[in-house]
Structure 1
Amino acid sequence: MDKVMNKIEEFLEDYPSSSTRNSYRGHLKKFFNTIEADPEQYFNNGRDHEQDVKTFWRAIIDEPPCTRNMR
């Protein structure tokens, strides 16, 4: 498993359903890719988390509502 995914995988271990893990994994990867952040360092580097969520929301606002609501 590559290093970038370790924090995400640690988080996902709490969910017994593989479909839930797969879904959340995809959403988290999209979030971190959108804000161009490394999940391994995200909570340790003084980022503006509120701004990151706003950036992500702006990136997905034009997606269909069902897709957007899952994120």
Structure 2
Amino acid sequence: MSDYRPIACADHERLEFAALTRQWLEVTVEGGMAQRLLPLDVYTRAGAEWLDAQTESGDTVTLRLDTLKF
């Protein structure tokens, strides 16, 4: 059983909309600092939901949705 905690539907929709419209979002990754990310894809894998995003420096990161705060 996965320890994934589903995020609020409104937050999930916000990520999907940002990916579709290529809008940058400011998010905080659990235990870290706020950063701007460009969502690229939101998907499910291995019992959890994930975000592929681009950082302002151009790197691509993969983050589990329940580690993000908006």
TM-score, structure 1 as length reference: 0.28
Q: Which has the higher helix share?
A: 1
TM-score, structure 2 as length reference: 0.28
